[in-house]
Structure 1
Amino acid sequence: MTKRIVFPLIFAFTLLLASCEQPAGNWTHFRGSNSDGHAGVEVAPLHWSNSENIVWKVPVKGLGWSSPVVYGKQVWLTSAEKDGHEFYTFCFDLETGKLLDEKTIFTADDPQRIHGTNSYATPTPCIEKGRVYVHYGNFGTACINTNNFEVLWKREDMPCKHMQGPASSLLLHNDKLIVHLEGTEDPYVAGLDKNTGETIWKSVRPKEIYDPLEPVYRKSYQTPIVIEVNGKELLICNSAYMCFAHDVNTGEVIWTFTYGYDSTVSQPLYYNGLVYVNSGWIFLDNTPFFTRQFAIDPTGTGDVTETHQKWMYEDEVPQIPTPVIVDGLMYMVHDRGMATCLDARTGEVIWKEKLKGNFNSSPIYAAGNIYFINVKGECTILKPGDTFQKVAENDIDETVKAVPVFVGDKMILRSDKFLYLIQ
């Protein structure tokens, strides 16, 4: 056998081993294992209520809007005492809902205030084989061994004046844990060593730009993503006032895009060579007015505001829910319920349709359909396409702000009181 034959065989075997280590049933981050709102399942539930098609239903102590994460047969979730004095982690058995571990991971004597619609446990954890990483913004970040439930490391020394409470979720990339802490003073993003929790790099937003801003306009609650552009891995952060693209390995700022607004929540997207970022609220006379969605060519350097914008859309763009892109079409739902389908390449409107209720949860694409769940727990399931096609409607009759999680042929849904496995 020649070397030309041996090398491909070794490479194929390596890929096979890697695929065995990453089962398709895992859900490792906010909005899925690829942070793109795609579930990657072939079958998903279409009909349920809070008593029908329920495999198990377990109460969850405290209050939290974080989404579950799943690895193997474990479901991990964070929560907190409603007044922010105690912060919890929970591990449940995926098949039975049995509580396997519960911890009070952090405490706070005098917690910061939060917005009335937020919780002290809104950031979603991330998970990999053997470890789960939990985050509560200013109140602490920790790593837990998922085999024996021992705490491997903690950080309680990363300050942030959130003003409205923590919301940015964690991002795990290779050996780094990305922590986003953009408050009203010295907003920053940091890359931590996932094994020790030590800071590898920290990038504070430029003082010459941010210091002249009123503190209220410096805060951000978004969750970044990592993309690859021309062989370089970029961390995309649609922060308050401007979007930053960092070298994810060093924290160096590669390019910036200025939109001038604050309180960004909706996560960036990357599709077919373009980055999609949300501006956050535009304030006119101190009143939240509207939000803009930008499409950006990510290949530039420096200030790309005038050179790399491909399109901008501003009619009922969501401030909290993150859109999802399926087959070149972007589907978004405004916080007050207007669903819009755009051509992701051009920003052209394909259709618009009003859904029932208000929305915080982001839509998820699973088994050929898109799931939109409103704050009251009513779910509208749509078939993606260039016309509005409703597949089903369901109602769990509880408050839902977390993103639904799809593993195997089932859905995990977190409400304000319970965690459900739905079939």
Structure 2
Amino acid sequence: MEWGQLALYLAEHSANVSPGMPAMLRLLAAVCLASSAILSHAAGWPEFRGPGGQGHSPSPAPTTWSETENVVWKTDLPGRGWSSPVIRGNQIWVTSAIEKLGATEDQLASKTDGLMTAKNSELASSLSLQALCLDKRTGELRRQVELFTPSDIDVIHSLNSYASPTPVVEAGRLYCHFGTYGNACVDTTTGEVLWRRVLPVKHYVGPGSSPVLYEDLMVLTYDGANVQFVTALDKRTGETVWRTDRPAIRSKEPDFRKSYCTPVVFHAAGRDQLAVTGAQWIVSYNPRNGEELWRADHGDGFSVVPRPVAADGIVYFSSGFTSPEIIAVRADGSGDVTSTHLIARSRHQAPTMPSPLLIGDRLLTVSDKGVGVCLDLSLENLVWRKRMGGNYSASPLLAGGLVYFFNQEGLTTVLDAKSDEARTVSQNQLDGAIMATPAVDDGRLYLRTDQSLYCLGE
């Protein structure tokens, strides 16, 4: 915990220290609270896919639940959104879009002219983009902070929402990203909006990539149909610190130039790196200044959603639509490393939406149509393949030696991570659709459906 974060924590929790205590004892008590906050933060869920952004929970999770079993609480949420819950201390934050679906056929037609996904598009006639705060212990909705009310609203794909990017939370601050509709920083103690920043882009099917924090930077991916760049804002002010354009893309068709990937931050080859996949390219940047470190041409894939994972100097990523592959690239190169550092490729039921999961010397994926695959890290040897059924958007999680897969129809399949036969531990059904990747904290699973947020615990 940085000194600034410590100060924020002390300010947030000063009311928990008795005013009748002597000054020194109050200070010691506050420091003890701050020390426990460090542990709480380590066990929290600060961003998309949790601490480190690769789907590994430091805490176990429940294995059995239903609508009537092991539900600690269930809270209906206003609006719609596929963003994951993020957790710090006793606060859970999600974003949501309060929509009015009243656009006329002519309005919809004018927004979808020429789009490949026109028949699967939706258009809101009015929109309020919000951050919601819930009490982790009770599920009570504590805050509903309106961040943006855009007047120029674009279409989204029917599988997307206007609030799909997951926010990032740290001591005293929540950072929200709604793609073209704006970025905002919220004081988590008061609910005050500290800054807003709008960077327009054409998504065609709505926003998707989530922000990441690196030191004092909020890093964002803007891979639109019209422009493609990665940028970092000063998390204290929202001002641009750096912006780097993406490499040139072969295709001139706007639909084939867009992407929705969230960067992964990792350390390899003696340097911190930020890798993010886009149309045609995966690129690694110096997260401090946006300098390109290396790039690799993965083919003609586009609309990449899965977040890359990294370990032992290798990045594993999805190539996106239309012929998805899982690809491995060494992260110790410089410049264009297409011919030298792309070391493995696999078409075994590669996903276009759920992110991969690294567990030791194995890589697990689930296809959009529900086929789970476990490969060794050569990507050549199949350990197991299992048809779990349903359709998948949420990314799998590892918790307590178990792997959790969540389908859109509300079913969670729990597998033994160490099993060579994909042994099923349990299957658990809830009402509603699961589009958002859940969060784990203190032995409980926080699962968002299209209508509610559940706290599940045994």
**TM-score, L = length of structure 2:** 0.84
Q: How far did 1:406 drift?
A: 0.7
Q: How far did 1:61 drift?
A: 0.7
**Aligned mates of 2:435, 2:194 — CA distance in 1:** 30
Q: How far did 1:20 drift?
A: 5.2
Specify the alignment match of 1:238 in structure 2.
277
**Aligned mates of 2:139, 2:251 — CA distance in 1:** 51
- Structure 1 gap segments, 5+ residues each: 1-16, 283-289
Q: What are the Cα deviations for residues 240-279 of structure 1, in whole angstroms up to 9, with x where unaligned?
A: 1111111111111111110222100000110222111111
Specify the alignment match of 2:70 in structure 1.
53
Question: Alpha carbons of 1:380 and 1:231: their partners in 2 closer, same or farther (altered >3 Å)?
Answer: same
Specify the alignment match of 2:325 in structure 1.
292
**Aligned mates of 1:255, 1:319 — CA distance in 2:** 23
Say whether residues 1:218 and 2:257 are aligned partners: yes
Specify the alignment match of 1:253 in structure 2.
292
Specify the alignment match of 2:235 in structure 1.
194
Q: How far did 1:19 drift?
A: 8.3
Specify the alignment match of 2:208 in structure 1.
167
- Structure 2 gap segments, 5+ residues each: 1-33, 100-123
Match of 2:350 among 291, 294, 317: 317
In the alignment, is the contact (CA less than 8 A) between 1:357 and 1:374 conserved in 2? yes
Specify the alignment match of 2:146 in structure 1.
104
Say whether residues 1:151 and 2:193 are aligned partners: yes
Specify the alignment match of 1:228 in structure 2.
267
Q: How far did 1:228 drift?
A: 1.4
Specify the alignment match of 1:263 in structure 2.
303
Say whether residues 1:27 and 2:51 are aligned partners: no
Q: How far did 1:330 drift?
A: 0.9
**Aligned mates of 1:111, 1:65 — CA distance in 2:** 18
RMSD: 1.7
Say whether residues 1:121 and 2:163 are aligned partners: yes
Specify the alignment match of 1:135 in structure 2.
177
**Aligned mates of 2:307, 2:251 — CA distance in 1:** 26
Say whether residues 1:422 and 2:422 are aligned partners: no
Counterpart residue type for residue 62 of structure 2: P
**Aligned mates of 1:374, 1:387 — CA distance in 2:** 21
User: What secondary structure does 1:317 align onto?
Assistant: coil
Q: What are the Cα deviations for residues 313-366 of structure 1, in whole angstroms up to 9, with x where unaligned?
A: 012100000011112111110000110000024442111110021100110001
**Aligned mates of 2:94, 2:129 — CA distance in 1:** 11
Question: Alpha carbons of 1:159 and 1:106: their partners in 2 closer, same or farther (altered >3 Å)?
Answer: same
More helix as a share of residues: 2
**Aligned mates of 1:224, 1:363 — CA distance in 2:** 17
Specify the alignment match of 1:93 in structure 2.
135
**Aligned mates of 1:409, 1:166 — CA distance in 2:** 31
Q: How far did 1:368 drift?
A: 1.1
Q: How far did 1:294 drift?
A: 0.6
**TM-score, L = length of structure 1:** 0.91
Match of 1:348 among 367, 378, 381: 381
Match of 2:315 among 275, 279, 297: 275
Q: How far did 1:397 drift?
A: 2.4
Q: What are the Cα deviations for residues 152-195 of structure 1, in whole angstroms up to 9, with x where unaligned?
A: 11112x11100010010110111110111111112111011111
Aligned length: 398
Q: What are the Cα deviations for residues 118-177 of structure 1, in whole angstroms up to 9, with x where unaligned?
A: 100000000101101111100011001111111111112x11100010010110111110
Counterpart residue type for residue 168 of structure 2: C
1:272-421 equivalent positions in 2, closer than 5 A: 272-282=312-322, 290-385=323-418, 386-421=420-455
Counterpart residue type for residue 94 of structure 1: K
Q: How far did 1:211 drift?
A: 7.2
Identical positions, percent: 37
Q: How far did 1:88 drift?
A: 1.2
Q: How far did 1:231 drift?
A: 2.4
In the alignment, is the contact (CA less than 8 A) between 1:91 and 1:100 conserved in 2? yes
Say whether residues 1:77 and 2:119 are aligned partners: no
Question: Alpha carbons of 1:311 and 1:336: their partners in 2 closer, same or farther (altered >3 Å)?
Answer: same
**Aligned mates of 1:341, 1:333 — CA distance in 2:** 9
Counterpart residue type for residue 145 of structure 1: D
User: What secondary structure does 2:255 align onto?
Assistant: helix
Counterpart residue type for residue 271 of structure 1: A
**Aligned mates of 1:211, 1:203 — CA distance in 2:** 18
Q: What are the Cα deviations for residues 20-65 of structure 1, in whole angstroms up to 9, with x where unaligned?
A: 5352331001001110100111x32111112321111111111100
User: What secondary structure does 2:53 align onto?
Assistant: coil
User: What secondary structure does 2:327 align onto?
Assistant: strand
In the alignment, is the contact (CA less than 8 A) between 2:309 and 2:317 conserved in 1? yes
In the alignment, is the contact (CA less than 8 A) between 1:25 and 1:407 conserved in 2? yes
Q: What are the Cα deviations for residues 2-23 of structure 1, in whole angstroms up to 9, with x where unaligned?
A: xxxxxxxxxxxxxxx8885352
